[in-house]
Structure 1
Amino acid sequence: MKLIALGLNHLTAPVSLREQVAFDENAAGDALRELAREPGVDEALILSTCNRTELYVSVTAGAENVPQEWLSRHHRLTHGKLDEFLYRHDDEAAVRHMFRVATGLDSMVLGEPQILGQVKEAYQHAREAHALKTPMDRLLQHTFAVAKRVRTDTRIGAHTVSVAFTAVRLAERVFTDLRQACVLLIGAGDTIDLAVRHLAEKQVRRLIVANRTLENAQELAGRHGGYAIALSDLPQHLAEADIVIASTAARQPVLTRAMVEKAIAARRRKPMFMVDIAVPRDIEPAVGELPDVYLYGIDDLRQVIDDNRRSRENAAREADAIIDLQVERYMAWRRALTVRNPAVDLRAHAETYRDQVLDKARAMLARGKSPDEALAFLANTLTNKLLHHPSARLREATLSGDYDLLHAAGRLYGLDEDEKTSDE
């Protein structure tokens, strides 16, 4: 069975393509079950975030191209459209890639912690879809342990600059004093939650949180003295916003060019700053063509993030060293799955001998033999049967000078420990 990690991310593909292959969280289960039914696919996990879409699959020989073909077919893309943007890692490289992703070493924001939560969500979806078996389930458990150790043993998470924090920093470049700004946040997930915290620290003049589920918006806004609205009420409140930060799971844009044009007119051409962190995008790209609108997408944040990356590069090297060791440990366990354990055969032979000798001892009792005689027969015969083949091989090893086998036998049967005990 081959383990494959296949995907594209912020380094290999533009946001316009990433949003085409993103998976809706509500449809993740159906997609997983569909992928797991593909010929040759034994296990499957889908990780889909604003910066990456990745498939982790175990496939049988000859099915190595099935995941890529399925990904294109599932998203109704023309044949070959993804070829130049995809990366693929096999077996050991796939394990290393998963470890690096979960620890934030492959993120746009080096060391960012949100990705681990997203990996855990992907794992939960895969379990609920019954798309995992022991090997990949073990890999995910190992992944979480590695991520925890990297966080504990290195400074990869020190002063981490999240995407949400970067969006706020970018807003500060446009609005020198955020205390005078009204900020509209669209969505109520983790990214928007982080953004709200940063903005509250900056003491913005007003916070408005818009979300499809009004109760979620009210809960988030209430914690930071903000005002909550339903997503359907966006057109009535958009003109109030100096800054808009959007991050929802919507499949279609929630802010259109027409909506923003009306808001700009109502603001009498007062500029608006917008950051779209979502993939698929929440704000129509055409909005960026409007005068007095400054629209930034997820890929535009890279320069700000890169400025803060260098301080964590030493910690990243330490994290990679930890990962290399843990990759080998997992792969050793995985290789052991393909090796037949002789202990299984040994126990089966022993149980067969036991049953045969026990039947004969019972027959002796039935013929009137004494219990002592039957027990002596059972003990002697069973001992001879169990030790016959090992004794014959050890005699041959003694005569031929096969000291490796003799030492191995000593370790196997604990005889070397007996010798140490007698010496003491």
Structure 2
Amino acid sequence: MLQHVHVLTLTHRHAKLRDIGELVTAFEGDGQLEQRLAALRGSGLVDELYYMATCNRLLLLFTTRREVDAAFRQALLGDRTIDAVAAMRHLQGNKAIYHLFEVGSSIDSLVVGERQILGQFRKAYKQSRKWGLIGDDLRIICDRVSLASKDVYNNTRIGEKAVSVVSLAMQQMQKHHPKPGSRVLVIGAGQTNVLVAKFLKQQGLESVTVVNRSLDRAEALAASFSGGKAISLHDLSYYEEGFDVLVACTGSAEPIVTPKLFHWLLAGDDPGGKLVVDLGVPSDIAEETVEQYDFYYVGIEQLRSLAEENMSFRREEIKRSHGLLRVHLEEVEIAYRQRLLERALAHLPAEIKAVRQNAVDKIFAKEIAELDPEARELMDRILTYMEKRCIGIPMKAAREAILG
């Protein structure tokens, strides 16, 4: 029934991120994505087309009666050759649609349970439709993806219990209840601490000092806070303003915060009320520092253990999710069959009206002309009623046959 529906996709599960990035660039380079996709549809290679790209996924959903073979893949990029095209996973029919369900409901995500992917799916759908690439078939499928995904999010606990290390670290920080005026010292300005910075902003923590080997990166991150400051890692041993919360995540092969440096950073404060979050691999807080000082310490190994425990919980919810998605797969087939019926019978009202008009104007015109006004009005009412019934009866019968 839906064998003309196909998915070609490259994800974090089957390829390196640089390969995905290379393929995205091939489609989106020079700002020509719309033109390239429109050319694919205009060439007749595909009938309808949907395109979505994220940091760890590229997905093409399309309808075609052609065979999706090596020649088809090559034609996607014209005369350009990208090795990653051959590595794209191909799914067809119900398997393709079910994969979309898994994507939208985050079962196939890098982080299971993250709802952001459904928003990305909808945004890509809106864009493809705006560009005139989406037709009736993909509209039905994409609408069902949204419904199925919301069903999973609303009726399972797949999104509960954080599984990302940063989210778990920030949950531990919340348990410590830092006050809005707390002094936060952030060592490192990489991607992990960029995420940490977003959380700090959400919590209203604005007194943030960012430390990094490269001062310009520290300044860029510190600029997002009203009370933000930046210093180089070289100058950390001269820092005298103290801290209430310390978050460290660098690429250093050796610990950054030794007992001696930690004593200096305390600036005379009691270590007992301090929160230290160490997200470095290897650790940025020396083991001797943790042993010698009594502070609340959150380490990467502790967070990883908790993440795996939470991930086990989400895996159980995935099993429940599949039960819901299978129901939606059946319903999308029914919805598609109904739409086929509507298309097939779309001509019926006009044909019945034409039969009525021919009977009135030609076949029985002489007899009708001899009727008095009241009889003619009654005849019109009877014909109108019969016309509606003649349209409704076959439509109803066909729907019942499909549902049956």
TM-score (norm 1): 0.58
Change (3 A) 1:375 1:357: farther
- Contact kept, 8 Å, 1:112 with 1:160, in 2: the verdict is no
Partner of 1:16: 18
2:197 counterpart of 1:196: yes
- Contact kept, 8 Å, 2:107 with 2:113, in 1: the verdict is yes
CA deviation vs aligned residue, 1:302-344 (integer Å, no higher than 9, x gap) = x886564211111111111111111111122223344466654
CA deviation vs aligned residue, 1:91-145 (integer Å, no higher than 9, x gap) = 2111111111111100121112221222122122212322111221232222222
- Contact kept, 8 Å, 1:221 with 1:227, in 2: the verdict is no
Among 32, 49, 53, the alignment partner of 1:48 is 53
Change (3 A) 1:168 1:334: same
Partner of 2:299: none
Secondary structure at the aligned position of 2:90 is classed as strand
The within-5 A match list for 1:23-34 is 23=25, 24=28, 28-34=33-39
- Contact kept, 8 Å, 2:210 with 2:222, in 1: the verdict is no
- Contact kept, 8 Å, 1:8 with 1:87, in 2: the verdict is yes
Among 101, 109, 112, the alignment partner of 2:111 is 109
User: Between the two proteins, what is the percent identity of the paired residues?
Assistant: 20
Partner of 2:209: 206
2:96 counterpart of 1:98: no
C-alpha displacement at 1:153, in angstroms?
A: 0.6
C-alpha displacement at 1:350, in angstroms?
A: 2.4
Partner of 1:314: 316
Change (3 A) 1:10 1:339: same
Output the amino acid matched with 2:48: E
Separation of aligned partners in 2, 1:146 and 1:352: 42
The within-5 A match list for 1:195-234 is 195-198=196-199, 206-207=209-210, 221-222=224-225, 225-226=227-228
Separation of aligned partners in 2, 1:164 and 1:74: 43
C-alpha displacement at 1:225, in angstroms?
A: 4.7
2:37 counterpart of 1:36: no
- Contact kept, 8 Å, 2:208 with 2:227, in 1: the verdict is no
Separation of aligned partners in 2, 1:105 and 1:114: 12
Output the amino acid matched with 2:349: R
- Contact kept, 8 Å, 2:161 with 2:310, in 1: the verdict is no
Output the amino acid matched with 2:12: H
- Contact kept, 8 Å, 2:106 with 2:113, in 1: the verdict is yes
Output the amino acid matched with 1:138: I
- Contact kept, 8 Å, 2:140 with 2:335, in 1: the verdict is no
- Contact kept, 8 Å, 2:111 with 2:163, in 1: the verdict is yes
Change (3 A) 1:118 1:76: same
Of 115-124 and 336-345, deviating more is 336-345
Of 45-54 and 329-338, deviating more is 329-338
Separation of aligned partners in 1, 2:77 and 2:233: 37
- Contact kept, 8 Å, 1:40 with 1:63, in 2: the verdict is no
Give 5+ residue unaligned stretches, structure 2.
172-182, 237-246, 258-279, 283-303, 398-404
Among 65, 68, 81, the alignment partner of 2:73 is 68
TM-score (norm 2): 0.61
The alignment's C-alpha RMSD in Å is: 4.9
The within-5 A match list for 1:144-155 is 144-155=146-157
- Contact kept, 8 Å, 2:356 with 2:383, in 1: the verdict is no
Separation of aligned partners in 1, 2:148 and 2:123: 17
Partner of 2:63: 58
Change (3 A) 1:32 1:163: farther
Among 126, 129, 133, the alignment partner of 2:128 is 126
